[in-house]
Amino acid sequence: MQSILDVRELEVAYKTQDGVVCALNDVDLVLHEGETLGLVGETGAGKTTLAKGIMRLIPSPPGIVKKGEILYRGKNLLQLGDDEMREIRGREISMIFQDPMTSLNPVMTVGEQIAEAVLAHGELPKQEVIQKTKQMLELVGIPPERSDEYPHQFSGGMKQRVIIAIALTCNPKILIADEPTTALDVTIQAQVLELMRELRKRLNTSMLLITHDLGVVAQNCDYVAIIYAGEIVEYGTVMEIFKDMRHPYTIGLFTSLPSLNKAVRRLIPIEGLMPDPMYLPKGCKFSERCKHAMDICREEHPKMSRVGGEHKVRCFLHQGQVPSEAENGR
């Protein structure tokens, strides 16, 4: 299948007064045309940095993209000028931020805010802007006559729908949704995700869905990437990961859930803490928490290796270097 976004060996760091924070280390990621990729990991693993990196929204300073490529339809976004990137942002790649409730301007009507997004990429006659604004509201299930109301007159779920309408206004090819439903209650979450699923199919938008909720991944994604301490540690189709997870961290994430069929699907933290990104361990980043850690894990850094189909894992247990241990590790 054709890729629309291809992140290669991306490395991002933040320079702080106390030292250099390694936020992303050698991240490789592929998003296929029309598909949804779930990016799963704990808080601080690098999910939002990756999303902002793709949008070229990492503040510099303190952020620095140390190396890598972000190929959108073969074009390296890291080499584009600011004007070209502004054109791509919103029109080609759109993002819904982690806290959508604060993304709306309280002193503008929702109609004005959608119209602003419509006009951000070119002048249009007033009548067309009004028409497009109403269409977008209808698309996300809000009666167009509410276009003159202010954000405070909307419920949380409705505000989130407005945010989605703004993000989809220019019919972007890629939508990056960073924890889009975390602030909503469970029923509304389900409705908003259902709406996003439906719109994505209808508009054939590819989506990078950032979440720490495996239930959301199971219901919405085609592919999954598990991120830990700024590295992708496992990648594959939803089926490959859910049926045959290999990395001890991924296994920890799944086994720490009471049951995938129960309503509570938040990740329960695995014993221990993610390493301080300023002082990452030399070998495998998960070695301090891994019950299968071997000497090699503390000394050498494992590479991603294919274990079948599109399934890849970053772990010495699955690199054929220590086959007998590999048996023990499963």
Binding site for ligand SF4 (CB under 6 A): 247-248, 284, 286-287, 290, 292-294, 297, 302, 315-317
Residue 175: count of CB within 10 angstroms of its CB: 23
Least gap, CB of 328 to ligand SF4 (angstroms):
10
If you search the block for the tokens 């699923």, which residue do you land on? 197
Least gap, CB of 41 to ligand SF4 (angstroms):
14
By DSSP bridging, strand 223-228 and strand 174-178 are unpaired
Q: Which is nearer to ligand SF4, 104 or 233 (CB)?
A: 233
Q: Which is nearer to ligand SF4, 15 or 282 (CB)?
A: 282
Q: Is 7 exposed, middle or buried (0-12, 13-18, 19+ CB in 10 A)?
A: buried
Cis peptide before 61 (omega within 30 of 0): yes
CA distances from 290 to 185, 227, 239, 250 (A): 34, 15, 24, 11
Stretch (H or E) spanning 75:
strand 75-76
Q: Which is nearer to ligand SF4, 245 or 315 (CB)?
A: 315
Q: Which is nearer to ligand SF4, 29 or 317 (CB)?
A: 317
3-state secondary structure of 303: coil
Q: Which is nearer to ligand SF4, 53 or 275 (CB)?
A: 275
Least gap, CB of 325 to ligand SF4 (angstroms):
8
Q: Is 137 exposed, middle or buried (0-12, 13-18, 19+ CB in 10 A)?
A: buried
Q: Which is nearer to ligand SF4, 72 or 316 (CB)?
A: 316
Per-residue tokens: 283: 């070998």
Least gap, CB of 286 to ligand SF4 (angstroms):
4
**Angle at Cα 267 formed by Cα 241 and Cα 205, nearest 5°?**
55
Least gap, CB of 267 to ligand SF4 (angstroms):
17
Least gap, CB of 26 to ligand SF4 (angstroms):
15
